[in-house]
Amino acid sequence: MSAGARAVTSDARGEAAADWHALAHEALLDHVTRGDARHALKMLLAALSRQLRRPCRLRAEQADGTLRWQLDASPGLGSDTMDPGDAGAVQQIALSRLGRHVGTLQLLGAAATGHDVTHQAAQLEPVRASAAALLLNDATVGQPPPRAGYVEMIRSALHGGGTFVWEWDIDTDWLSDIDEGLQQLGYDAQQIGRTQEDWNRLIHPDDVAANHEAYLRHVRGEVDHYEHAYRIRARDGNWRWYQERGRVVEWHDDGQPRRMVGTQTDITAQREREQLASQAAARLERIALHVPGILYQFELDAQFVPRFPYLSERARTLLGLDPQRAAESAAELMARIDAADREAVTASIIESAHRLSLWQWEFRVRAAPNSLRWIRASSSPTRRADGGTVWHGYMQDVTELRELEHARQDKAAAEAANRAKTEFLSRMSHELRTPLNAVLGFSQLLEIDRADSLSEGQRRRVKLIREAGEHLLRMIGDLLDLTRIESGSLQVQFDAVPMRPLAEEAIDMLRPQAAAAQVRLALQLSGPDLAAHADRTRLRQVLLNLLSNAIKYNRAGGSVDMLIAPARPAEGKAWLSITVQDTGMGIDAADLPHLFEPFNRLSQKRGSVEGTGIGLSITRALLTLMHGRIQASSQPGVGSTFHVLLPRA
């Protein structure tokens, strides 16, 4: 309902007129209740004209309380002549129909071209009822008049839904039947004018232009009815939302619209619900953006056609999917599932739909041409009334989790293998010591046996046997220490260990080895009372390992210096520094990071110096048990330095 341009083509007028029954309830209420006998009869004649395909015109009206009109059923346009008998037959059909619908009619004079009919105002009600009946179905002869209470029932139903009916006389810009609409807004009928211009003043300024354009689209024939929603100001100052629908039901001969009817409905509560729903959806989407996975709604209709009515925006980054396209069809996502998993996924979904059981599955999805990701999905199904099934759930990318799980399993397997290796070495070391002690014992007996002395050659060979046995025994001892450290069964006892006597004892034990290798040993202490907080036996083992390596990997005429001094306090503790420096062949820079790895002899694995490659790893492990640390530096051809820090006593 809007003022403005009214031009329309006759083709558009014909198309709209042919389809006007869609607004039958508005027309019914309008014509039954308006109390305008002349208009009601005029609409009745228009309906008869359409049925008979002959113009039926109102001739005259008297001022004495009687309504006098003449039914003219002359030939239609384009027909030059009409047989008088046919004209009379047409009149009789029309009058017969009028008689069935109106009741008592007085016919005043009959002519070949028409009849004069007079009807008193007291009998207008059945005439209006007949007009309404013809409007509802003007192509059916013998349509009965509306039953009693029918109009009131329709009006009550519309009123209960917040709807009222309006009529707009476009020529005079006059609005009728808007009292109910004004009452809904809290106005008295006298407060607001009854023109479209008056009503427009209540519409929100931002909505007036769009409302008028919706009307023009209908008048131009672009749409078959006018429809628009706009804001309108109520008496209390609040803005309410109105949904308006209407249709032009009368046109001038030149194609201009004459009269329009329609309905208005207060949809404020609906708009508020929609706004709340929109806010809830926006809130959910904001939350979903911070969820690492994908929130989704999956639907399988009764014909097992899948689609995703909802996918959170995270689907774009995780799967490369457009949520809007997925809402129309799930084919794109289903096609991205790895071919090896697709059949199982489909079967599991159908099984969940059949049993209405929780659906949980892991499958691979090709998120990009060269990216295969593992997806874990979980959702709960609900049966719909039409037989379809809807799941609400969550998807997450578990590729890294699966890799971590595999790594954990690999680590557990490696640890199990390491424990088995440690147990094996421990058992074998104990088993080897028994026969080896026998070999060493008998070799020593042969060397000291005076009753049956050995020749010089035999004595030399027995000595080699004993030395090889002692070397093997040391290796077995190192293996036992390593396995006990790895298994956590090696215990240390802390005490205040004076460093001078312990260092002198270690040097004295290795003097024969140093003399044989032509290496000089030297000890230097920066104070007389230096002591370490350590296990005496294990600290002596550390000093022996470091000094022995410094002698073995030295050169003839070289030196090994041990320096013991207080270190700078750090971490709130007092530390003791032990430095063993040699003038040997040195260590390559590439080998230094692997220096303390067990069984790794680095560049000496093919050298002439005997060793197992576990001495330094045991040394570091023992220092760790005693809350100490060790570092190494070296320069090839110059020598190596091992620096030990231990807590001071």
Domain-embedded: residue 264 = no
Structure tokens at 242: 């109105």
CA gap 162, 55 in Å, rounded:
39
Which of 453, 485, 517 is a domain's end point?
Answer: 485
Convert the pLDDT of each residue in 392-432 to its tens digit.
999 988 988 888 888 888 888 888 887 787 777 777 777 77
In this structure, the answer to whether residues 448 and 357 fall within a common structural domain is no
- The torsion defined by the Cα of 205, 207, 213 and 214, in degrees rounded to 10, comes to -150
Determine the 3-state secondary structure of 566 from DSSP: strand
Contact 56, 72 (CB under 8 A): yes
In this structure, the answer to whether residues 14 and 45 fall within a common structural domain is yes
Which of 334, 366, 397 is a domain's end point?
Answer: 397
In this structure, the answer to whether residues 464 and 389 fall within a common structural domain is no
In this structure, the answer to whether residues 338 and 389 fall within a common structural domain is yes
Whether residue 581 is predicted with pLDDT greater than 70 in this model: the reply is yes
Q: Which helix (H) or strand (E) holds 13?
A: helix 10-18
Whether residue 594 is predicted with pLDDT greater than 50 in this model: the reply is yes
Angle between helix 24-33 and helix 37-52 axes, rounded to 10 deg: 140
CA gap 143, 151 in Å, rounded:
16
CA gap 500, 545 in Å, rounded:
17
In this structure, the answer to whether residues 436 and 510 fall within a common structural domain is no
In this structure, the answer to whether residues 375 and 425 fall within a common structural domain is no
Query: Phi and psi at residue 103, in whole multiples of 5°?
Result: 105, -125
Confidence of residue 611 (pLDDT cuts 50, 70, 90): low
Percentage of residues of the chain with pLDDT beyond 90: 26
pLDDT of residue 353: 92
Task: Say which DSSP state 182 is in.
Answer: H
Whether residue 607 is predicted with pLDDT greater than 80 in this model: the reply is no
pLDDT of residue 642: 94
Residue with tokens 């022995």: 548
Domain-embedded: residue 182 = no
Convert the pLDDT of each residue in 506-517 to its tens digit.
999 899 899 999
Domain-embedded: residue 245 = no
The candidate with the shortest Cα–Cα distance to 376, out of 360, 352, 354, is 360
Domain-embedded: residue 347 = yes
The candidate with the shortest Cα–Cα distance to 496, out of 529, 542, 543, is 529
In this structure, the answer to whether residues 501 and 627 fall within a common structural domain is yes
Confidence of residue 307 (pLDDT cuts 50, 70, 90): confident
Which of 451, 485, 519 is a domain's end point?
Answer: 485
Range with the poorest average pLDDT among 282-291, 307-316, 598-607:
598-607
Structure tokens at 565: 């001094």
Question: Which CATH number covers residue 431?
Answer: 1.10.287
Confidence of residue 326 (pLDDT cuts 50, 70, 90): confident
Question: Which CATH number covers residue 386?
Answer: 3.30.450.20
C-alpha distances (whole Å) from 583 to each of 553, 586, 603 are 9, 8, 17
Contacts of residue 430, defined as CB under 8 A and 6 or more positions apart, other chains included, come to 480
Whether residue 162 is predicted with pLDDT greater than 90 in this model: the reply is no
pLDDT of residue 57: 58
In this structure, the answer to whether residues 447 and 429 fall within a common structural domain is yes
- Domain of residue 95: give its range: 10-152
Confidence of residue 123 (pLDDT cuts 50, 70, 90): very low
Total number of domains in the chain: 4
pLDDT of residue 154: 61
Residues in the chain, total: 649
Domain-embedded: residue 356 = yes
Instruction: Please say whether the dihedral angle defined by the alpha carbons of residues 234, 238, 239 and 242, taken in this order, is positive or negative.
Output: negative
In this structure, the answer to whether residues 481 and 503 fall within a common structural domain is no
Q: What is the mean pLDDT of the chain?
A: 75
Range with the poorest average pLDDT among 109-113, 163-167, 239-243, 632-636:
109-113
Whether residue 505 is predicted with pLDDT greater than 50 in this model: the reply is yes
The CB-based long-range contact list for 148-156 (8 Å cut-off, 24+ gap) reads 151/28, 151/29, 151/32, 151/33, 154/25, 154/28, 154/29, 155/29, 155/33
β-bridge partners, 337: 365
Tell me the chain's radius of gyration from C-alpha atoms: 54
Which stretches of 464-548 are assigned E, i.e. beta strand? 495-498, 520-525, 531-534
Whether residue 254 is predicted with pLDDT greater than 70 in this model: the reply is yes
In this structure, the answer to whether residues 563 and 606 fall within a common structural domain is yes
CA gap 439, 476 in Å, rounded:
14
In this structure, the answer to whether residues 123 and 19 fall within a common structural domain is yes
Residue with tokens 């409302």: 211
Domain-embedded: residue 341 = yes
Domain-embedded: residue 560 = yes
Confidence of residue 280 (pLDDT cuts 50, 70, 90): confident
Domain-embedded: residue 603 = yes
Question: Which CATH number covers residue 640?
Answer: 3.30.565.10
In this structure, the answer to whether residues 370 and 440 fall within a common structural domain is no
